[in-house]
Amino acid sequence: VSNAGVGMVGPLECQSLEAMQSLMDTNFFGLVRLVKEVLPDMKRRRGGHIVVISSIMGLQGIVFNDIYAASKFAVEGFCESLVVQALRFNVAISLVEPGPVMTEFEAKVYEEAERADYSRTDPETADIFTNLYLRNSKDIFASLGQTPEDVAEHTLRVIEAARPPFRHRTNVAYTPMAALKHADPSGALMTDAFYKLLFKYDAVLRLSLR
């Protein structure tokens, strides 16, 4: 089970390249290093199961989560490319894809975001992040967030499954969001929906979450 991860949230201009590289080294290359260690023996034994804690953000990018989403997209692409070869050796790969989870990990990321310096971006972007994104995020976590125990139960079911699924989403509330992307390959439907949620109907979004 690969569960290493660090978070990053905020305007792109305010994040250093070094911090981005460090995040990718943990979230993506940490997984790659682990798989390189365990896969050869699993192939020799012709049996095994690699369970990767991914994220709904490996399927759908979210505003102000650019680098974190990129790392989870990399995880998804890596596993999707590897799974067919692994199956030839009777090795299962499963991606567990939570939405927001109420842990110290998320709390720390958002606490740091509230205290950060946004002088390296323009005032409008800083205002959108602090007064729209962060405020809505609190409501989303309170309304839709899962407990770690709930995600652990989902992960256990994946581990114990007779035929382990390749992908398993732990929060059904995010199924419509992911479906938008597949409903319109041009991306226009998904982009328009997210734009309106953030900039036109944010008051409705907050009210519905509460």
**Active site positions, annotated:** 68
Q: How many CA atoms lie within 13 A of 116 on its CB side?
A: 24
Which residue from 62, 59, 160, 151 is spatially nearest to 105, judged by alpha carbons? 151
Cα–Cα dist 55/142, whole Å: 18
| SS3 (DSSP) at 96 | strand
**Whether 5 contacts 26, CB under 8 Å:** yes
Token reading at 84: 């067919």
Q: Which residue has the tokens 């505003």?
A: 63
Alpha-carbon distances of 57 from 43, 46, 53, rounded to whole Å: 30, 32, 11
Which residue from 46, 155, 44, 48 is spatially nearest to 93, judged by alpha carbons? 48
Residues 6+ apart with CB under 8 A from 205: 136, 139, 197
